[in-house]
Structure 1
Amino acid sequence: MTHPVAIRFSETDLEGLAKAEGRIVVLLGEGGAMGPAARRLDRLMKGALARFAASPAFAAMKPADAVDLAWPAGLAAEAVQVVRLDRKSDALVARKAGGAIGRALSKAATLVLAENHPRAAEISFGLALRSYEFTPHKTGEQKPAGPVTMMVAKPESVAAEAKPMAALAEGVFFTRDLVNEPANVLTTYDFAARLAAMHELGLEVEILEEEELTKLGMGALLGVGQGSESPSKVVVMQWKGGKKGEAPLAIVGKGVVFDTGGISIKPAAGMEEMTMDMGGAGVVAGVMRTLALRKARANVVGLVGLVENMPDGRAQRPGDVVKSMKGDTIEVINTDAEGRLVLADVLWYAQERFRPRGMINLATLTGAIIIALGHENTGVFSNNDAFCDDFLKAAKAEGEGAWRMPMGDAYDAKLKSRIADMMNVGGRDGGAITAAQFLQRFVKPDVPWCHLDIAGTALLKSDTALAPKGATGWGVMALNRLIRDRYEG
């Protein structure tokens, strides 16, 4: 996969600024405040930097905005990028500033004058996230970004602060890689193999094949994949970094590697994006990778149900009745409401085997959540206020949009079936909520639970401050933060 640019930290070299080639990035604070390196740069540029800082153009810049000053006189550099960033800026603004730098990288070297900025590590994190590209299927000549050096007052200290962020970035990249992959590459076989390879990081990884899933009674999950040549699988990843014997947090992901809708087939327009219907499983994988890389002091188990939803002579039909691992029967009204069938069995398995202290599932579950919240926020549903609040705080701290949605008995009643214990859909109105109500039927009352519907946030058609267009990796940072704050001593 294409990995972002490596960042090196070094001490500030005032004398080398005139000879530095490529791009130079300078941070200017409120009122054009400059550090020693920026002042040296300004002298080399014969005051051009100070004149820009005093101009209306700089005054109009918002925190983390960036402007290029091309071919500056007095320098060997091809451009000086001015980024507005006050010393009192918070971590999220500093990351966005780094993202502005990452967006503008070229094949030339880049020198970032972070000096003694207190958010230098966060700047480097944002830069790394935004420099990500997914290019393994492009055959033309690739032009990777040139090397990046951040000049800081205390390079060893900043590097130590950035180390856990590097682990987090790698988890985000792993998720993005998975979500961006086409379905003819990321089959259920390939997905499971990529997860199995993480045993090298210290994760315990098991792959449950169809024979074992049948013995476990996972009829809901198996029904979804029975029309595909790719066999259905459940992958279990355990990270045991906490106290021995302490109940783990369980995170569960929907991993539909491609979703045609099955017999309830989707329209052709836009179906190519259904390669991202394994986004929930991708986030789980990215979180588990992050935990292993940073040696998290917590017990966490990640479980993903990997299936492909295809129309075939053996495919599940509307009107079929399947039996879940829990024992409840489900009338399949719409075969395109398949993700909840996958999650139902994996959620129940997670509880039966691991007795988790809390459980969070992620899924690109409904188009209805996009209608409700657009692409700015993930829909959050929960049976436990305190648990939900902790997640929402973690998401806010990491700048990942999340909004709690309602649940209730009236929504649940819409799932009533004439011939089975429940239907898998409850009508168009409140579709994201009735999907959550369906999942809640497979959550034991004493287990704190959150359902995250990431249909609107997993993959975007436009770039953001910290990601190019395509897969975002939404959720890896929020869940890592939740685990760090709530479960690590």
Structure 2
Amino acid sequence: MSVNVKFDAVSFGEAERRLAAAPTEGERPLVLIAFAGAKLALGGETRTILRDAEPQIARAAAAAKFTGKRGSALDLYAPAGLPSVGRLILVGVGAAGDGENADKSAERFDDYLGLGGQTAAKLGQGASALVLFDLPEAPADAAAAGQFALGATLRSYKFDLYRTKKKKDESERDGVSDIALAVAAPEAAQTSVAAALDLADGVIIARDLVNEPANVLYPEEFARRAAKLADLGVEVEILDVPALQALGFRALLGVGQGSAHASRVVVLRWNGGAKDAQPIAFVGKGVCFDTGGISIKPAASMEDMKGDMAGAAAVTGLMHALAARKAKANVIGVLGLVENMPSGEAQRPGDIVASLSGQTIEIINTDAEGRLVLADALWHVKDKYKPAFIIDLATLTGAILVALGQEHAGLFSNNDELAGRILEAGKATGEKLWRLPMGPAYDKLIESKFADMKNTGGRHAGSITAAQFLERFVDKTPWAHLDIAGTGMGSPASDTNQSWASGWGVRLLDRLVKDYYES
């Protein structure tokens, strides 16, 4: 992967000095924030810095019919009155002012996350730019600067590790982008930017893991990479096959028994809260490649199944983000890592397996394997660590794509308060969810004639019956299941992501912990 961008926060006075001191024939791009209006509308600090150049810029904007509309941009080269600026970029942020318009503008931009991504796209890689981050809501500009830096960093990400040849224009664009943000409160903004970049690192870790091919990232290698979190103070425990057999992870091991790559469970512990404080827990499905096993998938698009570990990737990225910012919470992350392959050793439809909980499961379809991995992982966390809640993330069902597409992840929960908090964190970060129903009628669909339950409930309500299955392994612990099959991989292009892998869930859960669970 590569993310070649760094940030600095400076005062408006320093920005003015830099522009005045730059060489006469400068090439440094200057970025200005413009608000919606019939005429060019700039912030007061920006107008002061531009001085006599403002009327010329306003004329150029009027000629180009640039009105500051949200998401719009205008390039001006060698602008008159600014000899040190080779390129000037106007970026529109919509309505300025206070009250309803300002609130809507902030919501549209997800606190300037999208603006950062759009600006990074306009600048391209290797730019050394000055951004006059002159907002109408100056008291909040430090937080907005962090969001801007986060969006720009995530947009700059690309996974090109295995490309040995590049087009000429791509090579020319390589290089580190150096972006200086001129703000009203540079020290506060610098702190906000640093925190945002720690969070960006967590998202990028998750993206890298999901983008890696399965011949490189198999369970043992995933475990080795997760173990690097020990450098940040995370306690790491890796359970190999003998350890899992001794503990009774029979459902999880059954999924991986057909593969040449041995299964692993990784337990990550961040102890940032009070010594006696109850932990919170996150569990990720980590099927490093999913052929479907004996119930093999169609060949078309099977290559995408390298991303069937996006849940475990998100938990790994989350644990990095929490440790990097030294979150004041006790957090457990569990990764269930397997590979689901067909072979003479593979699990068969009709097999019955006893899970770690002691409950027995009839295997109807070996391609419904993720819930078997999570069943043992959930029970282990619930039983050993007794957390305040458990949230699992999994690319679990194709049915969630049919229901929600790629706009929302599916949310299932046995606890209204936890579900409500997750939904609020989703609104705050733009990683959106939709809560779906659960209940006894759905639970009845996974009853088995031969065991305590079966691992599929048939064609109808497939995402819901999968959640009903998982609920049987959390007992009465507050729990939420996030089905991220539509959001964790194969991501549509956005202002903040041009990658196949999105790193979805890292920002959402970091925000959840920050808002509700830190001491």
Q: TM-score, normalised by structure 1?
A: 0.94
Structure 2 matches for 1:280-319, cutoff 5 A? Answer: 280-319=311-350
Change (3 A) 1:57 1:427: farther
Structure 2 matches for 1:74-223, cutoff 5 A? Answer: 75=83, 77-85=85-93, 86=96, 88=102, 89-90=105-106, 92-117=110-135, 118=141, 119-140=144-165, 142=171, 143-223=174-254
Q: Distance in 2 between matches of 1:421 and 1:163?
A: 50
Q: Partner residue of 1:477?
A: 507
Paired residues of 1:23 and 1:108 also in contact (CA < 8 A) = no
2:475 to 439, 444, 455: 444
Q: Distance in 1 between matches of 2:196 and 2:124?
A: 23
Q: Distance in 1 between matches of 2:429 and 2:460?
A: 32
The answer as to 2:58 corresponding to 1:58 is no
2:306 to 244, 257, 275: 275
| Counterpart secondary structure, 2:339 | strand
| Counterpart secondary structure, 1:15 | helix
Change (3 A) 1:261 1:57: farther
Shift of 1:54: 4.0
Paired residues of 1:42 and 1:50 also in contact (CA < 8 A) = no
Q: Distance in 1 between matches of 2:459 and 2:32?
A: 52
Q: CA-to-partner distance for each residue in 1:38-72, whole Å, 9 max, x for gaps?
A: 4377667673421244467323x532433333554
Q: Partner residue of 2:456?
A: 425
Unaligned runs of 5+ in 2: 136-140
Amino acid at match of 1:188: P
Q: Partner residue of 2:493?
A: 463
Paired residues of 2:155 and 2:498 also in contact (CA < 8 A) = yes
Shift of 1:113: 2.3
Structure 2 matches for 1:381-420, cutoff 5 A? Answer: 381-420=412-451
Q: Partner residue of 2:30?
A: 24
Paired residues of 1:24 and 1:110 also in contact (CA < 8 A) = no
Q: CA-to-partner distance for each residue in 1:408-448, whole Å, 9 max, x for gaps?
A: 11111111111111110011111000100010111112x11
Amino acid at match of 1:254: K
Deviates more, 1:23-32 or 1:256-265: 23-32
Amino acid at match of 1:187: Y
Q: Partner residue of 2:406?
A: 375
Deviates more, 1:71-80 or 1:221-230: 71-80
Q: CA-to-partner distance for each residue in 1:238-269, whole Å, 9 max, x for gaps?
A: 00001112111010000001111111111111
Q: Distance in 1 between matches of 2:460 and 2:20?
A: 66
Q: Distance in 1 between matches of 2:450 and 2:415?
A: 31
Q: Partner residue of 1:244?
A: 275
Shift of 1:160: 1.3
| Counterpart secondary structure, 2:66 | helix
Change (3 A) 1:57 1:374: farther
Q: Distance in 2 between matches of 1:298 and 1:430?
A: 36
Q: Partner residue of 1:7?
A: 7
The answer as to 2:70 corresponding to 1:39 is no
Amino acid at match of 1:178: L
Shift of 1:82: 1.4
Q: Distance in 1 between matches of 2:156 and 2:465?
A: 39
Paired residues of 1:218 and 1:325 also in contact (CA < 8 A) = yes
Q: CA-to-partner distance for each residue in 1:76-112, whole Å, 9 max, x for gaps?
A: 6553221112474426151111110122232442423
Q: Distance in 2 between matches of 1:484 and 1:320?
A: 43
Paired residues of 1:42 and 1:49 also in contact (CA < 8 A) = no
Q: Distance in 1 between matches of 2:83 and 2:487?
A: 42
Q: Distance in 2 between matches of 1:418 and 1:115?
A: 65
Q: Partner residue of 2:138?
A: none
Deviates more, 1:285-294 or 1:84-93: 84-93
Q: Distance in 2 between matches of 1:461 and 1:236?
A: 28
Change (3 A) 1:426 1:253: same
Amino acid at match of 2:156: S
Change (3 A) 1:132 1:475: same
Deviates more, 1:68-77 or 1:125-134: 68-77
Paired residues of 2:409 and 2:434 also in contact (CA < 8 A) = yes
Paired residues of 2:150 and 2:197 also in contact (CA < 8 A) = yes
Q: Distance in 2 between matches of 1:16 and 1:467?
A: 35
Shift of 1:16: 4.3
Q: Distance in 1 between matches of 2:279 and 2:210?
A: 26
Paired residues of 1:12 and 1:152 also in contact (CA < 8 A) = no
Change (3 A) 1:15 1:269: same
Change (3 A) 1:454 1:479: same
Q: CA-to-partner distance for each residue in 1:192-227, whole Å, 9 max, x for gaps?
A: 011111101000000001111111111110000001
1:343 to 367, 374, 377: 374
Q: Partner residue of 2:293?
A: 262
Q: Distance in 2 between matches of 1:418 and 1:52?
A: 75
Deviates more, 1:118-127 or 1:259-268: 118-127
Q: TM-score, normalised by structure 2?
A: 0.89
Paired residues of 2:431 and 2:504 also in contact (CA < 8 A) = yes
Shift of 1:346: 0.1
| Counterpart secondary structure, 1:58 | coil
Q: CA-to-partner distance for each residue in 1:164-218, whole Å, 9 max, x for gaps?
A: 2121111111111111111111111111011111101000000001111111111
| Counterpart secondary structure, 2:448 | coil
Paired residues of 1:366 and 1:431 also in contact (CA < 8 A) = yes
Amino acid at match of 2:150: F
Amino acid at match of 2:499: K
Shift of 1:161: 2.1
Change (3 A) 1:252 1:34: same
